[in-house]
Chain A
Amino acid sequence: MLTLSPQDIQAIWLSAQVATAATLISVPFGFVAAYLLVFARVPGKPLLEGLINLPLVLPPVVVGYLLLLLFGQSGMLGAMFHSLGLRVVFTLSGAVIASAVVGFPLLVRSIRTGMEDIDKRYLQASRTLGARWWDTLLTIILPLSGRAVLAGMTLMFARSLGEFGATIILAGNIPGVTQTIPLAIYEYTNTPGGDRMALTLCLVSIVLSFAVLLVSESISRKFRQRAGQ
């Protein structure tokens, strides 16, 4: 019989919180980044693109370490946060930031592909009908890339559920505070006789990820029906 300890339930709850927060916080930034990459005529686009995609190719541990340097007490942002009375390192916020940074490239990639698929002549039509760029963005680009945004959110959410390397460096592995499912599994595998508990959490992880996929698929179908595609 598979049973979950109170610590496991806490880890599941924390994982859900971290993944949801990281995804929701990233969506507006991801949308803007994708818009800039696809539509805007800005100098240094390749640089921006490289910067966004860097966490995708770097080992998560390296990302975590860089974040630790940035948000540590003597780090650039860390000092600023500290003066505001905020702490990132070894807190839930740290776990959210680690997940957000690692998952961000996946989100942007997905939204970007969706935006590139929009027929540019819709944008021309909207402009000749009197819509300014922000109006076109809100009434044409946003709804027509809705499916891609959703797909990106799913990817990012799933990536956040599995995030380990950057999280353990920036947020640590503190049960009840920053210990998410992967960290809890890691701890169980290092504990004699913890295999069974690790397996239980693996199953929970599979069920959670599968549920996310199902929900995303059904919402995506609704989008498709609406757009008649």
Chain B
Amino acid sequence: MNLEVALRKNYGKFQLKVEFSLTAKHCGIFGPSGSGKSTLMHLLAGLLKPDEGRIMLAGRELFNSSRNLNVPPEERRIGVVFQHAHLFPHMSVRRNLLYGWRRTPLAERLIDPEALIRVLQLDHLLDRGVNALSGGERQRVALGRTVLACPRLILMDEPLSGLDEELKYQIMPYLKKVFGEFDVPLLFISHSLHEMRMMADEVLVFEAGEVRDRLPAEELARRNLVTGSRGYANLLTLSAPQPQGDLWLYRWGETPLVLTEPGGMGDNVFELAAKDITLFKRHPEASSARNILPCRVTELFGVGNRIGVELDCGGNRLICQIVPESVRELDIREGAEVIGVIKASAFRRLY
């Protein structure tokens, strides 16, 4: 993506004033509700007219107040996945999916509908009316509909926030697969840090109508260790689940991990809070925790009474959160060898 934006928009008492350029393939816009994320989405898509400024996408000028240029939404080739799907209620799933595709010039139809329908697992729903679909299915159709219009950029405006916690993470693999397999730039708008980390490489942090920061998603998550209430969460992709007594044995790269969570049909992505990892200087001979991992400290970060410790556990990266006293007592510094201890019940399945 090559997106250059410099815009100002007054909206009642609220003012949006942004200037940024993005080059990463998958970017995120992160911020609390009311920070101007959705307004920006509407301005970019052409659904709202900025007071002044300029928008350039892939070398093409879409808006320029000084030249009085305002390309209408239907000519911008910017796709939007709305928060609440907004599928056309009088059309079947198939007609919804192909709505944009049929309006795309032949030379620009770069995505094969069959392939996308397979990835989104919508084959069996094609002839249904959209009102009979579940929330997750609706959002998958909405995603498919937008991707099939073969846009130059897809804007996703809080696409998961209308879904309940469980469904949210069921959609995630589809999202990742679609944006992994089909080459479409993405601007993902959300107030969820997890979603940012899963979908975006680079993140713009919005606050009160302005861009406050710009950083990689991982960096944003680390900052949360210091300032956020929930701290840092490690996202682990585990494989090959095997039952082991009442517990389950997974592989994390080369490292075996024991979890209470049973193996599922999905990708086995788990969340592990940084504060649920305890560090020992030496191997605790006996422990109730099921996972005792030898690790090497690669980095220390954080301020105040929260210190983040980046660990290398057999080639895998893990962040653990401890207090400064522990850092001193255990003499934790870069290169130090420590033992990370994790309870089998500390992992929470995302999908």
Contacts and interface: CB of A to CB of B under 8 A. Distances in A.
A128 B90 contact: no
Contacts of A135: 103
A128 B73 CA distance: 5
B332 interface: no
Contacts of A124: 45, 47, 73, 80, 82, 86
B99 A229 contact: no
Interface in A92-146: 119, 121-122, 124-132, 135, 139-140, 143-144
B90 A144 contact: yes
A26 to B, nearest CB: 24
Contacts of B47: 124, 127-128
In which size bucket is the chain A interface? Answer: 20 to 34
Given A125-B82, A128-B47, A128-B79, A140 B88 contact: yes
Contacts of A144: 89-90
B99 A227 contact: no
Interface in B71-104: 72-74, 76-80, 82, 84, 86, 88-90, 99-100, 103-104
Nearest to B154: A128
B244 interface: no
A41 interface: no
B130 interface: yes
In which size bucket is the chain B interface? Answer: 20 to 34
Nearest to B102: A130
A183 to B, nearest CB: 42
A122 B89 CA distance: 9
Contacts of B235: none
Nearest to A135: B103
B99 A143 contact: no
A128 B78 contact: yes
A228 to B, nearest CB: 3
B132 interface: yes
A131 B103 CA distance: 7
Most chain B CB neighbours (cut-off 10 Å) among A129, A132, A143:
A129
Contacts of A127: 46-47, 72-74
A226 B90 contact: yes
Contacts of B80: 124-125, 128
Contacts of A121: 82, 84, 86
Given A144-B90, A226-B90, A128 B45 contact: yes
Contacts of A227: 89-90, 131
A119 B104 contact: no
A128 B74 CA distance: 5
Interface in B168-185: none
B129 interface: yes
B99 A228 contact: no
Interface string A217-229: 0000000001111
Contact of B99 (A119, A126, A132, A226): A126
A3 to B, nearest CB: 48
B90 A129 contact: no
Interface string B309-334: 00000000000000000000000000
Given A128-B80, A129-B100, A228-B132, A122 B88 contact: yes
Contact of B104 (A125, A130, A132, A140): A130
Contacts of A228: 89-90, 129-132
A125 B97 CA distance: 12
B149 interface: yes
A126 B82 CA distance: 12
B72 to A, nearest CB: 7
B237 to A, nearest CB: 33
A129 B145 contact: yes
Contacts of A125: 80, 82, 86, 88
Interface in B86-140: 86, 88-90, 99-100, 103-104, 129-132
A125 B80 CA distance: 7
A14 B307 CA distance: 90
Interface string A129-168: 1111001000110011000000000000000000000000
A49 to B, nearest CB: 25
A226 B82 CA distance: 23
A129 B78 contact: no
A150 to B, nearest CB: 14
B190 interface: no
A115 B74 CA distance: 21
Interface in A5-37: none
Interface of B: 45-47, 72-74, 76-80, 82, 84, 86, 88-90, 99-100, 103-104, 129-132, 145-146, 149
19 contacts: A124-B80, A124-B82, A124-B86, A125-B80, A125-B86, A127-B47, A127-B72, A127-B74, A128-B47, A128-B74, A129-B99, A129-B103, A130-B77, A130-B104, A130-B149, A131-B74, A131-B103, A139-B99, A227-B131
